[in-house]
Amino acid sequence: MASTAAVVPTQGLAPSKTDDVAELFERWHRHADPMAREALVRRFMPLARRLARRYERSSEPFEDLLQVASLGLLKALDRFDPKRGHPFSSFAVPTILGEMRRYFRDSGWSVHVPRGEQERALKVRDAQESFANEHGHAPTVNQLAEYLEVDSGEVIEALQAIQAYEALSLDAPRPGADGDAMTYGEAVGHEDERYELVELDATVTAVLERIPARERMILRMRFVEDLTQTEIAARVGVSQMQVSRLLRRSLDQLRALTQDTKKAL
Amino acid sequence: MTRGVESVCTDRRTGMAAPPNIRLDLSNRPENVVLVRETLAGVAEAIGLDAADLDDIRTAVTEACNNVVLHAYEGEEGGLEVEIYAMGGVCSVFVRDRGIGLQPHASEDQWIVGIGLPVIEALAHRVDFEETPGGGTEVRMEFATPGAQTLEPPEGEAAGFPNGVLGAGATKVTIAPVAPLARTVLPRLLGVLAARAHFSTDRISDALLVADALGAHASRSASAGHLRIAVSIEPRNLELSLGPLDSGGGRELISGSTVDGLGRVIEKLSDHLSVAVDGTYEVLDVQLIDRR
């Protein structure tokens, strides 16, 4: 280790040109010049910061993420071999990402932070409901983005993600109008009797009978009564997103059943 | 011009003689990056790609697209063309612009601002940069996807886009093979575009149901082996053209969406349906309006 006494003129640290970077690495690696290292850290910290931002959607505090990314940057500075002729950033990015992945793994997280994604999806779902309650109709994506103060692209991706989430449990408590929590199961049980009567008028066909009563009820509300999904959501006591998912899933099942029936004939 | 990992582009050109499984013809507007990301998610579902691989591919492709959005046309509007190949254990994504082109020996800072290029190089198995004929740049990224299924290579180059309701600003997508891609890509495509047309979440979800119904039966009505989809949007209005379909294929698609007791799903949820004959083929036009 060279001593920190290796004083260099400060203007030599101006970290803007590639040549400077090579020189700084030389000074750090060969002479262990801490000022050269500091200059390198200053120059490449924006890179670490931008990589940390990538994971910001997770519920980890950003400062923690930045610290992990900085640690990765320091490791990359130590290990980088300028003689190989590659730019430092192409070495640093995988090193920093690797450090962040290891951190998430060690703290029991998946690398792709599904929890963050799911939290975002839940926020979008809840915002959709609050908006619909307040305004009496469903919001647009732009209105949701404004409401949540996020980019509309993020809302679009959250909406698509919700379609795939089986994790948003059917029995997750739903906020009732007066603050009472009502589960999906309770809500359906409550409404079911009425719809059993409707179904007695023999319009229900063999295929429809083969899916659960609650799905049948929602399909009927949308396609026979022509209610909007938000109206259905309010009646059934689930989110509109849930209605959307249930409609898609049951129509998918019906398609499969119809095909089977056709094949059997 | 090649950067990063060593490569033999000419060989790859012949190796990639088949048309892409998906081709997106978009404008370089920032909101189209989400469309590309969602299309990739649709491909991932079709080939059983795991979430980590999809995440890497989406991150790299996002950087390449952002570059086209921000820098390729120096503030002007221009084309963003994306091709996706998912064949032989490899997923390749080409991102192309017709803009100012790559300056030889440009530093990476000039090239892709910020961390774009290092991210692509870190995540892609291989990266090449080509100049496109007539100016512009093509970034070719190759990702190893060993666990994923492989799609059939599309046959030959398909005819032009169906003449329907399409304006010049339409979003155009070509997919082949129709099964399984129509089922996984169409809903994502329409979901994004309905959101952008200022549809309410109710009506966005209806668009998904229509897309599901179209996607489920499209392969039966499209014997040409590929499907072209063009979508034009205006506030609260989305118009979709789908073809080439076989003779009678348009009607078949609509009646195929029938659920006994509920009616024809596509007809119930859309505001206007028509079938146009385009030479020997048919084109189905579907219009969705949000009348709230």
Tell me what pLDDT residue A29 has.
Answer: 84
Tell me which of B202, B206, B217, B258 to substitute to probe the interface with A (most A C-beta atoms closer than 10 Å).
B202
Q: Where do we find the tokens 């004959």?
A: B277
Summary mean pLDDT of chain A: 73
> Averaging pLDDT over each range in B93-102, B121-130, B235-244, which range is the top one?
B235-244
- Candidates A18, A128, A203; nearest CB to B261: A203
d(CA A4, CA A28): 11
Whether chain B has a CB inside 8 Å of the CB on A150: the answer is no
Dihedral of CA atoms B138, B143, B145, B149 in degrees, nearest 10, equals: 0
Q: How far is CA B106 from CA B1, B101, B109, B110, B128, in A?
A: 11, 11, 8, 6, 15
Count of other CB atoms within 10 angstroms of residue B161: 20
Tell me what pLDDT residue A75 has.
Answer: 84
pLDDT band, residue B188 (cuts 50/70/90): very high
Residues of chain A with CATH 1.10.10.10: 113-168, 181-265
Mean pLDDT over residues A15-33, rounded?
A: 76
Per-residue pLDDT of B242-278, as tens digits, reads 989 999 999 999 999 998 888 999 999 999 999 998 7
Q: Does CATH number 1.10.10.10 belong to domain A113-168?
A: yes
Q: In chain B, which residues have their Cβ closer than 8 Å to the Cβ of A157?
A: 34, 37-38
Torsions phi, psi for A55 (to 5 deg): -100, 10
Residues of chain B with CATH 3.30.565.10: 9-144, 171-289
CATH code given to domain A181-265: 1.10.10.10
Tell me what pLDDT residue B164 has.
Answer: 44
Summary mean pLDDT of chain B: 83
Residue A99 to chain B, least CA–CA distance (Å): 14
Q: Do A248 and B195 touch (CB under 8 A)?
A: no
Q: Identify the CATH class of A10-106.
A: mainly alpha
- Candidates A89, A207, A219; nearest CB to B118: A89
Per-residue pLDDT of A173-215, as tens digits, reads 444 433 444 444 444 444 444 444 444 344 445 778 888 888 9
Does the pLDDT of residue B99 top 90, yes or no? no
Contacts of B238 (CB under 8 A, 6+ apart): B190, B193, B194, B197, B199, B207, B231, B232, B287, B288, B289
Q: Do A224 and B262 touch (CB under 8 A)?
A: yes
Residue B287 pairs in a beta bridge with B239, B272
DSSP chain A: ---TT----GGGG-TTSHHHHHHHHHHHHHH--HHHHHHHHHHHHHHHHHHHHHTTTSSS-HHHHHHHHHHHHHHHHHH--GGG---HHHHHHHHHHHHHHHHHHHTT--TT-HHHHHHHHHHHHHHHHHHHHHHSSPPBHHHHHHHHTS-HHHHHHHHHHHHH-S-S-TTS-EE-TTS-EE-HHHHHHHHHHHHHHHHTTTT--TTGGGS-HHHHHHHHHHHTS---HHHHHHHHTS-HHHHHHHHHHHHHHHHHHHHHHHHH-
Residue B140 pairs in a beta bridge with B94, B128
Per-residue pLDDT of A229-242, as tens digits, reads 999 998 988 889 88
Whether chain B has a CB inside 8 Å of the CB on A4: the answer is no
Does the pLDDT of residue B78 top 60, yes or no? yes
Q: Are B157 and B19 in contact (CB under 8 A)?
A: yes
Half-sphere exposure of A21 (CA within 13 A, CB side): 17
**Structure pTM?**
0.73
Mean pLDDT over residues A75-104, rounded?
A: 82
Q: Do B34 and A156 touch (CB under 8 A)?
A: yes
Assigned fold of B171-289: Heat Shock Protein 90 (3.30.565)
d(CA A241, CA A51): 32
Q: How many CB pairs under 8 A join A and B?
A: 139
Residues 92-111 of A with CB under 8 A from B: 92-94, 97, 111
Mean pLDDT over residues A217-229, rounded?
A: 93
Q: Are A26 and A2 in contact (CB under 8 A)?
A: no
Residues of chain A with CATH 1.20.120.1810: 10-106
Residues 205-264 of A with CB under 8 A from B: 205-208, 219-220, 223-224, 228-230, 240-241, 243-244, 247-248, 251-252, 254-255, 258
Query: For helices A152-164 and B32-47, what crossing angle results, to 10°?
Result: 20
Residue of chain B nearest A256, judged by CA positions = B216
pLDDT band, residue B70 (cuts 50/70/90): confident
Does the pLDDT of residue B113 top 50, yes or no? no
pLDDT band, residue A39 (cuts 50/70/90): confident
Q: How far is CA A264 from CA A83, A257, B213, B255, B264, in A?
A: 70, 10, 22, 19, 22
> Averaging pLDDT over each range in A118-132, A181-195, A235-249, B192-206, which range is the top one?
B192-206
Tell me what pLDDT residue A199 has.
Answer: 44
Burial class of B10 by CB neighbour count within 10 A (0 to 12, 13 to 18, 19+): exposed
CATH code given to domain B9-144: 3.30.565.10
Count of other CB atoms within 10 angstroms of residue B147: 11
Q: Do A90 and B31 touch (CB under 8 A)?
A: no
Lowest average pLDDT, out of A74-78, A168-172, B45-49, goes to A168-172
Half-sphere exposure of B276 (CA within 13 A, CB side): 16
Q: In chain A, which residues have their Cβ closer than 8 Å to the Cβ of B34?
A: 153, 156-157
Residue of chain B nearest A140, judged by CA positions = B200
